[in-house]
Amino acid sequence: MFFATPAYAQAAGAAPSGPQDMLIQFAPLVILFVLFYFLLIRPQQKRAKEHQATIAAVKRGDTVVLSSGIIGKVTKVEDAEVQVEIAAGVNVKVVKGMISDVRTRGEPAPANDAKS
């Protein structure tokens, strides 16, 4: 047995006819896109730019947190990699992009000079 009855559209006002009606239909989508931009996209870009600046400013003596959660002290800085001491006498090379946070800044020192 069929319980649903067919709905018949009325002829008057069924479809938008002019450009104003079309603009009114797309206005909520445009407003939604603007909200997404200001609430999601823009803060994400700002955070990424700050992270890039932090990674570029890493120098010897900084304590860093890697994306794996390992905390270590930077002992050598190169173009795309840093050498991190994760335990006494244990140094690992890490790609700069894997640094998630710089916890404390060490004393200013040139990147590749010997320790004093």
Dihedral sign for Cα 57, 108, 105, 70, please. positive
The larger pLDDT score, comparing residue 49 to residue 24, is at 49
| Tally of CB atoms within 10 A around 75 | 16
Q: Is the pLDDT of residue 110 over 60?
A: no
The CATH number that domain 59-104 falls under is: 2.30.30.100
Mean pLDDT of the chain: 83
- Would you say the pTM of this structure is higher than 0.85? no
Q: Residue 16: is its pLDDT beyond 60?
A: no
Q: Provide CB contacts within 8 A for 60, sequence distance 6+.
A: 74, 75, 76, 77, 106, 109, 110, 111, 112, 113
Q: Is the pLDDT of residue 31 over 70?
A: yes
Confidence of residue 21 (pLDDT cuts 50, 70, 90): confident
Q: What are phi and psi of 97, to 5 degrees?
A: -65, -15
What pLDDT sits at residue 17?
67
Tell me the pLDDT band of 99, cut-offs 50, 70 and 90. very high
